[in-house]
Structure 1
Amino acid sequence: MISMFRTAIRYRIWAVDHCLPAQAQGKRPRAWRQAAVYWAACAIISMLILALRRFSKIDGRVTPIIVLLSGLAVAAFYPTRNLDIASTLMALLGAGYNLSRVLIDVEIQRLVSSTKLGRAKGRVHVACMGFSLLVYVGLGVSGDALVPSAVFLAFGSGVIAVVTAGYGLHLVKKRASLHRSMPL
């Protein structure tokens, strides 16, 4: 039991954002460099997958699944204390972010006519920026009361809740349309 505790302490990633001397000199700690490399590598791999047209015949059902998995990966940062697991989560987020971003854009282009495409993309962009602004204001008000891993947990849980609610609304809508009778 004690050896497990020592191992957990040795691989613990501290959730304190104090400025390190290496950061003050413009250098990032090794953990951040490793996570950034994993993110970038999987982002490039996901773009190669898209370039090979592996998602050319996929409809809009796969995008919420990718976003849901990304939300699970973000929420998983809360209990993670191992650098290798955190790097793997960053890799999943890099791939999931790029795949979902491109697939959402493709879905918008598929669903909206070309005359209204700019307006639709603008509305999506404004909604996302407004949500981001609310998140930044909330973080600014909370100050140091929240540790970064708790913020990741809250954001990931929010993503999971929104995707699940979207699936629920879709199922309710589908079920309601099945119970309608044909007019005589």
Structure 2
Amino acid sequence: MRTPNLAVGSLYMSCVAASAAGRNAYYIIAAWVALAASDTAASVAILLGAGSIAEFMTTNFGGSLVDRFDRRVVCILCDVLRLFVMAATGLGIAWGYTMPVLVASWITYSVVDRTYLTCLQALIPAVARAERLQAFSSLAYMVMQAANLFAAFVAGLLLTSAAKEFCFLLPLGCFAASLCMMTQFRHARGPRSGRERTRGIFRTAEILPTSLPLERLRKSAVVYALIYTMGMLATVLASAFVRQELNGPALQFGYLEAAWAAGSVIGCAFLFCRDRDTGRRGADLVLHLVLSGLALCGFLIWQDFVVSLIQMFVLGFSYNAARILVDVETQLAVPGSQLGRTRSQIHTVCVAAGLFAYGIIAFLGSSVPPSVIFGTFGAFMLIVAGGLLFWPSKQAESIDGLNET
């Protein structure tokens, strides 16, 4: 067993915090600038859809890169590219090409950042002991959520006090800090045999976005895809729910977002305290699917602000708890040399489900109330949860064997 070095663990958490702050700041600033430039929410939808499509097409290839090369070097290269994207975005907007620059920036950033996230998650087994994976992953998510809240506050202040092109200096500074800390990061190398198996030319199954996760992880991938889609629905429809059905101000939308964030932090802390209870992850995943489904169905039954706060808290709790459980299950199910590809394949399934949800929302438009969409998807989650109870358990297998075809 590897004993994690305190300095290495602290550097890792610092990289998580700096990267998360930069990511959230970039998303907030880019979305607001796009909305201000076009005066329509459709521009934000275009950005989200373009980024999701780019992720869907390239995430498997990024995962293969993570498994083939030193992950610290991959993270450093991703930070350098993110710095270049932030600088180019600010300059392009200053020259007056706001929307074309934002679309190109969002697409490029989505690909680079997804590779970075996959690489950072794949580094965890080289930092934490196997019996502490859940606690370490939970702590990383808590650090991420705290950095997101900080970035949201600072980005909001910048958007109200500085020119839009200068706002991108905030994520640029965060990614610069991440780069500096990653250059100091040292981690245990994975097994040579695992690295040698991944050398050579890329195989088709490693590049195409249609690759399926390992059989043992497909149940987890199904749950993760539904939880991921639930998070996208909440992001897209929460503001419309407040405006159209609660008839509330923007402040109520802020409270709902705060309730989600609070649930997220509590979910991470809950699993951090249960880090040694590793025998019920499959049952816990189904439980979180049920909790999310019930909370979504509640929007269809009650259109009340206080009840909505409770529902958003539950959704945030289950969203992050399920993500942590899937991450830990993946880290324990496959060798370290295959984590990048496996994690990317699971994310491909999630993005595909999210794109389908975006398409449904775009097709329905404003003809269907948000509570109906929430409730319908919640009922679907409950049906799937019932079906997963009969999903047979599978033994571990090699991703190399799976991808030979």
- Superposition TM-score, scaled by structure 2 size: 0.35
Q: Which has the higher helix share?
A: 2
Using a 3 Å threshold, how does the CA distance of structure 1 residues 68 and 55 change in structure 2: closer, same or farther? farther
The answer to whether the Cα contact below 8 Å between 1:46 and 1:98 also exists between their aligned partners in 2 is: yes
Match of 1:56 in 2: 276
Q: Which moved more, 1:82-91 or 1:28-37?
A: 28-37
Mapped partners of 1:87, 1:17: distance in 2: 15
Segments of structure 1 that go 5 or more residues without pairing to the other structure are 1-13, 23-27, 174-184
Match of 1:37 in 2: 258
**Larger relative contact order (CA 8 Å, sep ≥ 6):** 1
- The 5 Å alignment of 1:133-152 reads 133-152=355-374
Give the SS at the match of 1:58.
Answer: coil
Matched, 1:132 2:351: no
Using a 3 Å threshold, how does the CA distance of structure 1 residues 62 and 162 change in structure 2: closer, same or farther? same
Mapped partners of 1:109, 1:43: distance in 2: 21
Match of 2:381 in 1: 159
Instruction: Pick one of 99, 102, 110 that aligns with 2:321.
Output: 99
Using a 3 Å threshold, how does the CA distance of structure 1 residues 97 and 81 change in structure 2: closer, same or farther? same
Match of 1:179 in 2: none
Matched, 1:117 2:339: yes
Mapped partners of 1:29, 1:83: distance in 2: 13
Mapped partners of 1:49, 1:151: distance in 2: 29
- The letter of the residue matching 1:66 is H
Matched, 1:46 2:253: no
Match of 1:182 in 2: none
Mapped partners of 1:75, 1:121: distance in 2: 30
Shift of 1:17: 4.7
Using a 3 Å threshold, how does the CA distance of structure 1 residues 51 and 169 change in structure 2: closer, same or farther? closer
- The 5 Å alignment of 1:83-98 reads 83-98=305-320
Give the SS at the match of 1:144.
Answer: coil
- The 5 Å alignment of 1:4-23 reads 15=241, 17=243
Mapped partners of 1:17, 1:34: distance in 2: 13
Mapped partners of 1:47, 1:69: distance in 2: 16
Segments of structure 2 that go 5 or more residues without pairing to the other structure are 1-239, 395-405
Deviations along 1:26-56, one digit per CA (max 9) or x if unpaired, are xx6232122122211221222222333x142
The answer to whether the Cα contact below 8 Å between 1:66 and 1:96 also exists between their aligned partners in 2 is: yes
Mapped partners of 1:110, 1:96: distance in 2: 21
Mapped partners of 1:67, 1:110: distance in 2: 21
**Aligned-residue CA RMSD (Å):** 2.3
Using a 3 Å threshold, how does the CA distance of structure 1 residues 97 and 133 change in structure 2: closer, same or farther? same
The answer to whether the Cα contact below 8 Å between 1:16 and 1:147 also exists between their aligned partners in 2 is: no
Percent of paired sites with the same residue = 27
Match of 1:81 in 2: 303
- The letter of the residue matching 2:253 is W
- Superposition TM-score, scaled by structure 1 size: 0.72
Mapped partners of 2:255, 2:241: distance in 1: 17
Match of 2:18 in 1: none
